[in-house]
Amino acid sequence: MNKGDLRNIFGQFASGVTVITCTNADGEPHGATVTAFTAISMEPRLCQVTMTRQSKACGFLGGAPFAVNILAADQVDIAMHFAGRPSAPGPVWADGPTAPVLCGAAATLSCEAWAEYDGGDHLIFIGEIVAAETTDKNPLLYYRSSFHELGPTSASSAWLGSMDDPHRGWFDADTSFVPLHLNSDHLSPTPR
């Protein structure tokens, strides 16, 4: 499989768009657009960003605090600015608890460095979230190499009546199931 094919397959996964912000070697604000962001842990509060080793920001993040700015749907220009296509008038910065932050984001997580791992041609940075801010703005999404906005809310009817419905409760630890090939009616798993 070539890189282009793999990139297209990865593009099938819709993700939010973030700008990871920090300070550069001169103490000035710096940022990079990143879609490889995920929550890791609630306790301790950890998140992960993955950045290509070739990015300038990657060189500034080793052991340094950073912020994850989850971009709002109206911030495509900001995403492009930090992806290498600078725009005027450019981003509006504010001082954050750990690193500079971007004004107008849907949410911002301020992080202290927690760990760093080899990720092949990328580096994986784990941050401990020490402060967070959120707004009621919808997030900017990235899917199949294009920016998107949220569509209408999907109906939750698929969950209703399901034993796995998060509104009714998940299966408890004592529930067990009979594999279909051992179940005579083959209609559904049978709780014991």
Convert the pLDDT of each residue in 23-80 to its tens digit. Answer: 999 999 999 999 999 999 999 999 999 999 998 888 999 999 999 999 999 999 999 9
Residue-level pLDDT at 185: 57
Average pLDDT, rounded, for the chain: 86
* Per-position b or e across 8-45, b if 16+ CB within 10 A of its CB: eeeeeeebbbbbbbbeeeeeebbbbbbbbbeeeeeeeb
In a domain, 158, yes or no: no
Residue-level pLDDT at 8: 83
Range of the domain at 39: 15-148
Domain containing 80 — which CATH number?
2.30.110.10
In a domain, 122, yes or no: yes
In a domain, 44, yes or no: yes
What CA–CA distance (Å, rounded) separates 56 from 60?
A: 7
In a domain, 9, yes or no: no
* Domains in the chain, number: 1
In a domain, 110, yes or no: yes
In a domain, 87, yes or no: yes
In a domain, 161, yes or no: no
